[in-house]
Amino acid sequence: MIKPELLAPAGDLEKLKIAFIYGADAVFIGGKKFSLRARASNFDIPQIKEACDFAHNLDKKVYVTTNIIPHNENIEGLVEYLKDLEGAGVDAIICAAPVIIDTAKKETDLEIHISTQVSLTNYESVNFWYNQGVTRVVLARELNKYEIKELKDNTEADIEVFIHGGMCVSYSGRCTLSNNMTDRDANRGGCAHSCRWNYDIYDGETKLNDELSFSMSSKDLQTVKQISDLIDIGVHSLKIEGRMKSIHYIATVVSTYRKLIDDICDDYKIDLPKYLLEIKKAENRLTSHGFMEGMTTIDEQLYNMRSENPSQDFIGLVVDYDEDTFTATIQQRNRFVPGDYIEVFSPNFESMKFKVDEIIDEEGNAVDAARHPLQILKVFIPFKVSKYDMLRKIKQLS
């Protein structure tokens, strides 16, 4: 059995460090150019270099997305940009367009991965790109685990599969709803997520839905139950989606899959409910296994639930801990007050709990509530915690 790579998203350097600390083997990031998710806080070249240096010190990898479908106006500066990525030490680029793939091949030695934006759904199309010198392909999210197995058995290419996060409702890259409805180009980073909006459906002039809108929106992908199968298939890389997600989301999701993959590969007994419970703490949209078990049913769709519910449970990040005084320095992320019950969550997947006593601000004053985002505060924690541990509010200690 080969242990697959766990690949996590990172929208900025802090998220990248969190992803690695919480167990990712590699992260993918967006640069300032040629990347989808134009609104994510993408990295400039010095930041990409810093990311690569940080990763390589840990013997980990950084991939950069260059996966837009470029129009003529987008091509200028491509050679220089790809050379800059190579100079920064990037381990691979994730591409969708022939112009980017060929330019990278001609002008650099960058490793090339094919993006899910081209929706590779069968082994023949995967082998086309393998024959073009591409080492890895990211498969379409429309495949079930049996299709993935058949595909893997018929190609030499490394296979990367999405295991968690948001899903396009369409075949990725085959959608211009956003272009047509909002003038925002979905395939150049401007997607307005029109597939998640509410619609009425008509047969001619007859409306077919009542108060409940016609919805196409998809639950997010979550494959805790399928990881064992994907490892058996020999999938090379297991990918988590979400460059715009919070550090709490990344830490929770990465550490859960990290522990799960390690336990499966080390042949430990797998307690699935434990992993499911843990990963649910990062959930801000309902989840399902997507296409993994076969064609999607109503259980993979979201109905009547347009709004997302970002988790408010994440209240702070540990910055430091003084073992002599049992005092943790934390950076506030959501409101909490003395008397709240807190779970400390760390990269080793273990959690411990305590009740908040006093909250002290930087001037040494006790405050009645931690109100301000990113405020530095001190809290008594009766057990050792470490930098980058996270604090979640819970209902009770037991």
Partner 1 sequence: MKIAVTPLGVKGIEGLSANGADIFLIGNSSFGNRLVYSFSTIEITNANNLIKSLNKEIYIVMNYIVHNANIKSLKEFLDFVKELDVDGIIFGDLAVYQLAKKIGIEDKLIYSPETLNTNYYDPIFWSRQGIKGLTISKEITLEDIKQISKDKVLEISLIGHGHLNMFHSRRPLIENFFKYTNQEYKDYIENRNLRVVEEIRNESYPIFQDNHGTHIFRDKSLESFQEVNILNDYLDVFIIDGIFKDNRYLEEALKHYKELLNNKGDAKSISKLYEGNHDSGFLYKKTVYDK
Of residues 239 through 258, those in contact with partner 1 by CB under 8 A are none
Regarding 133 and contact with partner 1 (CB under 8 A), the answer is no
Interface segment toward partner 1; rule CB under 8 A; list 177-185, 272-280, 339-347, 385-393 = 177-185
- For 59-104, give the DSSP string: T-EEEEEE-----GGG-TTHHHHHHHHHHHT-SEEEE--HHHHHHH
Regarding 38 and contact with partner 1 (CB under 8 A), the answer is yes
From 291, 336, 354, 388, residue interacting with partner 1 (rule: CB under 8 A): 291
Amino acid (one-letter) located at 295 = M
Q: What is the distance of C-alpha 120 from the center of its chain?
A: 20
Residue 351 region by backbone torsions, left for phi larger than 0, else alpha for psi between -120 and 50, else beta: beta
Regarding 118 and contact with partner 1 (CB under 8 A), the answer is yes
Q: How near is the Cβ of 166 to partner 1 at its closest, in Å?
A: 15
Of residues 75 through 104, those in contact with partner 1 by CB under 8 A are 75, 96-99, 102
Q: How near is the Cβ of 181 to partner 1 at its closest, in Å?
A: 7
From 41, 127, 327, 375, residue interacting with partner 1 (rule: CB under 8 A): 127
Interface segment toward partner 1; rule CB under 8 A; list 9-17, 114-122, 230-238, 240-248 = 114-122
Nearer to partner 1 (CB atom), residue 12 or residue 343: 12
Regarding 125 and contact with partner 1 (CB under 8 A), the answer is yes
Nearer to partner 1 (CB atom), residue 17 or residue 141: 141
Nearer to partner 1 (CB atom), residue 173 or residue 347: 173
Regarding 295 and contact with partner 1 (CB under 8 A), the answer is yes
Interface segment toward partner 1; rule CB under 8 A; list 87-95, 246-254, 288-296, 370-378 = 288-296
* Residue 325 token pair: 């005084």
- For 232-298, give the DSSP string: HHT-SEEEE--TTS-HHHHHHHHHHHHHHHHHHHTTPPP-HHHHHHHHHTT-SS-EE-TTTTSS--G
From 57, 297, 307, 398, residue interacting with partner 1 (rule: CB under 8 A): 297
Cβ contacts of 211 within 8 Å, gap of 6 or more:
none
Regarding 293 and contact with partner 1 (CB under 8 A), the answer is no
Q: How many residues bind partner 1 (CB under 8 A)?
A: 77
Regarding 179 and contact with partner 1 (CB under 8 A), the answer is yes
Distance CA 52, CA 230 (A): 28
Nearer to partner 1 (CB atom), residue 10 or residue 40: 40
Regarding 220 and contact with partner 1 (CB under 8 A), the answer is no
Q: Which residues of 284-305 are buried (b: 16+ CB within 10 A; e: fewer)?
A: ebebbbbbbbeebeeebbbeee
Distance CA 300, CA 220 (A): 8
Q: How near is the Cβ of 225 to partner 1 at its closest, in Å?
A: 20
Cβ atoms of residues 178 and 189 within 8 Å? no
Q: Which residues of 21-42 are buried (b: 16+ CB within 10 A; e: fewer)?
A: bbbbbbbbbbbebbbbbbebeb
Regarding 147 and contact with partner 1 (CB under 8 A), the answer is yes
Interface segment toward partner 1; rule CB under 8 A; list 170-178, 232-240, 244-252, 259-267 = 170-178
Distance CA 276, CA 226 (A): 12
From 3, 174, 355, 387, residue interacting with partner 1 (rule: CB under 8 A): 174
Q: What is the distance of C-alpha 320 from the center of its chain?
A: 26
Cβ atoms of residues 113 and 90 within 8 Å? no
Nearer to partner 1 (CB atom), residue 42 or residue 252: 42
Of residues 302 through 341, those in contact with partner 1 by CB under 8 A are 303
Regarding 30 and contact with partner 1 (CB under 8 A), the answer is no
Angle formed at CA 285 by CA 370 and CA 289, multiple of 5 degrees = 135
Q: How near is the Cβ of 251 to partner 1 at its closest, in Å?
A: 29
